[in-house]
Amino acid sequence: MSKNKKTGVFILLFLFSAIYSLATFPDTFANISKKISVKGTQETTDKSNVQSEPSSSPQNSSLPEQTVEIMIDPGHGGIDSGAEKGHIVESEVTLDISEKLKVYLEANSYRVAMTRSSDISLYQLSKISDTIHRRELDARTNIINESGAKIFVSIHVNSYPEYPGISGSIVYYNPAIPQSKELSNCIQNQLNDMDTANSKREKHNAREADFFLLINSNIPGVLVETAFITNTNDRKLLSQDSFRSQIAKAVADGICNYMDK
């Protein structure tokens, strides 16, 4: 084949290839555009999903916490069950009465907190080096003192094995704080006025005491011994939900009378 003929064939092949590329270019370009478009849409969707995820920060974190007005201390708990007799366990009774008391007080628009709301010990919160019992009392006292509350009330069940005939409720206070005496009288009066139907219980006066919680707290407060677990009649009453509600209501009424003055 001559040189001129080879050149002509080459030119024809080049022109044919060019014409074919131009003919298929729209489809190729469309496919490329589609791929770019899909990728761009996916990136936009991913970013949109990230932005729409709920924030893990606490809601209303800028709002100030409401000040506690009344602290309730359910006696004992955790490894310290308190007094026990029959099927009555002090730590369980005190928590139940305290929860009922909290409901009554909140129904009267008071802001209330509790040192514990389950069957736990608190001694781990204490920084002193002492016995578990003393650390437990120290922890409860610190919670009360740091709460900013106006008053506190500690709920307990009494025990006097030597004199099982003694019954009734007794409120204890620290005489060094005049408001504590006033609070104790308000609560004691309500407890003495309780109607327990055929169950006769002794009436008592509020009493001074040097219990750790009372003498180490910085705010007015009392310790309420709700009933004697060593008294047959009182122990029977403590097993009744209605009686526990009565106790809680009487303590709540006494607190309201004090706060209203």
The helix, strand and coil proportions of the chain, stated in percent and rounded to the nearest 5, come to 50, 15, 35
pLDDT tier, 209 (very low <50, low <70, confident <90, very high otherwise): very high
Residue 204 has pLDDT above 50, yes or no: yes
pLDDT tier, 261 (very low <50, low <70, confident <90, very high otherwise): confident
What pTM did the predictor assign?
0.75
Of how many residues is the chain composed? 261
Strand blocks (E) in 23-97:
70-74, 84-85, 88-89
Reduced to 3 states (helix: H, G, I; strand: E, B; else coil), residue 62 is: coil
- How many angstroms separate the CA atoms of 20 and 16, rounded? 6
- Among candidates 177, 180, 172, 167, which has minimal Cα distance to 207? 172
Query: Who's near 196: CB < 8 A, 6+ residues apart?
Result: 237, 243, 246
Instruction: Give me the pLDDT at residue 44, please.
Output: 32
- How many angstroms separate the CA atoms of 119 and 236, rounded? 22
Residue 161 has pLDDT above 50, yes or no: yes
Token digits of residue 36: 């770019």
Contact predicate 146/134, CB 8 Å: no
Amino acid at 46: D
Reduced to 3 states (helix: H, G, I; strand: E, B; else coil), residue 77 is: strand
- Please compute the mean of the pLDDT values over residues 187-206 and round it to a whole number: 94
Reduced to 3 states (helix: H, G, I; strand: E, B; else coil), residue 189 is: helix
- Please compute the mean of the pLDDT values over residues 228-248 and round it to a whole number: 97
pLDDT tens across 51-69, in order? 332 232 223 223 235 689 9
Q: Torsions phi, psi of 122, nearest 5?
A: -120, 0
Q: What is the mean pLDDT of the chain?
A: 82
Residue 225 has pLDDT above 50, yes or no: yes
Token digits of residue 155: 């709920």
